[in-house]
Structure formats: structure tokens, C-alpha cells
Chains A and B, each alone.
Chain A
């Protein structure tokens, strides 16, 4: 398969006030790959994802998704791109006035003509992927943090997006659910040929899903490579990072 650059980030910089968060970052994401983003808390991983999807405007630089710049783009064109992407927020961001079912149906029904029965079937099937079929009629306030995360994940993949952004998909989950979710992400990549950027602190998850990894540090991409290579590196920072790892 020819290598296609689905997302191209060119010299991206972003600051809040005079605090520089992202400093001249360039990065390509290739079609069909799972790219994992590491970095300590507060280094700008979430900010990076939000810049790519157009929620935050970069101060300089350009971001291209399938060859189209999302920095200088009309709302209409941006929405066309967004219909083909999914975004799992760090805090799940479930609509708290809607039931789980309505949360999942919301993106589904608005962008495609789909009958109520079909929509419901799709909702149940997607909830099954995250093992939460029973929660279909619950309100978000009745769910635990980990359940919210998984419902958020279900909501973001229900439209079968081409590109997925996961902001810490396994944080706050028990080890078994973490593994399940990691395998789900891998599955989506294999079966639906999804391209994903995954922000995570979870090394086990990264081991399962990652094709490539990058480390954000001081606003730059400090390291990149396959996880096996990075974990064997002699670099002090990486050694320290991977020394806390538990390998199964």
C-alpha cells in the first residue's frame, strides 16, 4: 500500500498569553496508522489534538487534513472534514441533558438519513463494543468515570469515522477494561482502516496499539519511533519514563 499522508502538520506553534505550549512542531500522520502521543501532564497534548480538529487556532503554521488546510477554511468545509473524524475528549464530554442513547444518536441522526430502528440497532451494537449495552437508557450523571469514558468513545466512533483522535482513552479505567479498549482501538484500525492519534500515559495500551510514538516535551517533539526502540534507548529521560513500565 502506498503511504499517504492523511494529516500533515507544518511548523505549528501555539501559545496562551506568553506561555508557549507548542513550539514549531512538524509531523505527518500516515493513512491507517496508530500514532501515540506521550508527554508529561501539561505539555500540550490535548492542545495539539484541538488544533488539528480546528477547536483551537494555531498562532502560526499550517495543518492539512487530506490535503486541506484546517487553519484557513470555511465553516462548511471544516464540517465536511469533521463528519469524517471522531474525537474522544479527555473528560468524555457527554451531553448531560441527554440519555446515553440520545448521546449516541445525536451525531448519527444529524448527518445521515437513518430510520429510528436502524439508529437504535447501531447504538446498541456500538455500546456492545465498549461492553456497556445495559447503560443505554441511563443518564450520564448515573455513570462512573470509566463508564463515561467508554460511552464517550462509543459516541465518537458511532459514525465510522476515517480519522480518530483519542485523548487518554484508558485513563481512569481498570486494567481489564483498559486492555479491552486498547484492543478495540486496534480492531478499529484493522477492520475499518481507521487512522488514529492517541494521547495516552498508558504504556500497556501503547504497546498494544502503537505503530509509531512521539514524545512531546517543552513544546517540541523530543523523541519519535517504535515503542520497542524507544524503550531500549539509553537516553536518560526515556529510561526514566520506561522504567516505571510493567510488561506482561
Chain B
């Protein structure tokens, strides 16, 4: 796999920022292409994928649990006075549930996941790169891209939707608890309100986009780590730039995907 550093160096060396921007975009595109090409070629390294999924799950479970619960709690606490003011308190459970399902849970979970995971992958692969572990794999005739990158990207892509569903569930519980405290909400009533207002047209696009977000977290972290150079400093750089880049790309894709999903499932 040939990465584009040299190509752009010739033409863009006059502007380093612009040069770096183009290198990253092209690099990610090539990386993406390479992943899609290799994902279907055996060996599938299933045990590696499982191992990474396990690790990611364990690593993000606590922070994601707290987040999920707090999102629900806070969004209901914030919205309640507003709904009361407009005389619409009946709609409170349904409306907050919809905003949680459609936007808050997927995006916030993805951003937290990016912060925790893409930096971790960037540091892991970055240190493997600078200590020549990736080269060592290559000279033992093992495809390091497949073994290290593809397996991680599959794992992040699979695990984020699961986490998001879990966060949605917890936030809705959090919302219920806020309402119980403030107005002694009945659980049956709350459950019915939520279930009748949230439709498949809310759930499907929102869960689908988390596959994309998971993929972004995996590919950006891996890319930054895989191309790291310059010793320990390079590892640090890989890890921090991965978070920033992954978060930005997630928000960018969110905007695009929301637009597309509104065209497919109009409200």
C-alpha cells in the first residue's frame, strides 16, 4: 500500500497545512479502500475481532453507562419546565424519547467512543509502528494491515451500535427517574408514551448511522497509528490527532446522514 506523502510533497510543500489536509484525506481514502478490499479475503482473524470487541466493550462500558443515564435525566429535567409552560406536558416522555433516539444517544455515544477508543487505537498502533512491531509482523509473512487494522475496524463498527442501543435504553430509564422525582410518574404510563411515540422510522436510521460512526472511529485511529513516526512523540501525536479528526468526521457524517435519512423516512 502506497501512501500519498511523496505525491503531495512535490506540489503542496508551499503550504504545510493544506498539504497535511490533502495527505490525510487521501490517506484515509486509500486506507478505506484497502480495508474494504481485505475484509473479504481470508484469513478472517475472527478470534482477534472477538478479542477487540471484548476489550472495547469492557473499556467503554462504565463511561457509556454513566453518560446514558445522565443524558436521559438531564434532558427531561431541562425540558420539563418548557413543556409545562407550553401546556404540553403530556408530550414530554414521547418528545424527549424521540430526541434521545434520533440524535442525542447516537452522537454523544459516538463522540465519547471516539474520545476513548480512537485515541487508544492510535496510541496502540502508533507504538507498534515506532518500535518496529508492525515491520516485524510483515517480515514474518503476516499481513499486519489485516491482523491489526481490519480486525479493529470491524470491532469498532460492530460494538458502537450495541453501545448506542444500551445508551438509548439507559437514557429512557434516566428520563423516567427524573419524572418520578419531579411528579411521581407512573411507569406504565411512561412506557406507553415512549413506545407509542418512537417509531421504526426513528430507530432504524439512528442505529444505522452508528455503524458508520464506529467505522470512522476505527479507521481514523488505525490510520493515525499506522502512519505514526518520530518516536514516542509521534505516538502521542497519533493518539490526540485521532480523537479530534474522528470527532470532526463523525459530526460531518452526522449532518449528511441526517439529511439522507430525512429524505428516506420523512417525519
Residues of A whose CB lies within 8 Å of any CB of B are: 50, 53, 55, 75, 79-80, 82-83, 85, 87, 89-91, 93-97, 106-107, 110-111, 159
Contacts and interface: CB of A to CB of B under 8 A. Distances in A.
Interface string B125-162: 00110011101111111110000000000000000000
Given A82-B140, A91-B131, A106-B140, 18 more contacts: A50-B135, A55-B138, A55-B139, A75-B143, A80-B141, A82-B141, A85-B139, A89-B132, A89-B135, A89-B136, A93-B133, A93-B136, A95-B133, A95-B136, A96-B127, A96-B131, A107-B142, A110-B140
Contacts of B140: 82, 87, 106-107, 110, 159
A87 B141 contact: no
Residue of B124, B137, B138, B143 with most partner-chain A CB within 10 A: B138
Closest 3 CB pairs of A and B: A93-B136, A79-B141, A107-B140
Contacts, number: 48
Contacts of B136: 87, 89, 93, 95
A79 B142 CA distance: 8
A83 B141 contact: yes
A94 B131 CA distance: 8
A1 to B, nearest CB: 28
Contacts of A80: 141
Contacts of B139: 53, 55, 82, 85, 87
Contact of B135 (A55, A75, A83): A55
B127 to A, nearest CB: 8
A205 B63 CA distance: 54
Nearest to B9: A17
A53 B139 CA distance: 7
15 contacts: A55-B135, A75-B143, A79-B141, A80-B141, A82-B141, A85-B139, A87-B136, A89-B135, A90-B132, A91-B132, A93-B135, A95-B133, A95-B137, A110-B140, A111-B141
Contacts of B141: 79-80, 82-83, 107, 110-111
Contacts of B131: 91, 93, 96
A95 B139 CA distance: 13
B45 to A, nearest CB: 11
A111 B143 CA distance: 12
B33 to A, nearest CB: 16
Contacts of B142: 106-107, 110
Contacts of B128: 95-96
A89 B105 CA distance: 46
A50 B142 CA distance: 16
A110 B45 CA distance: 11
Interface in B32-66: none
Interface in B180-197: none
A247 to B, nearest CB: 34
A96 B133 contact: yes
A106 B124 CA distance: 19
Contacts of A89: 132, 135-136
A239 to B, nearest CB: 35
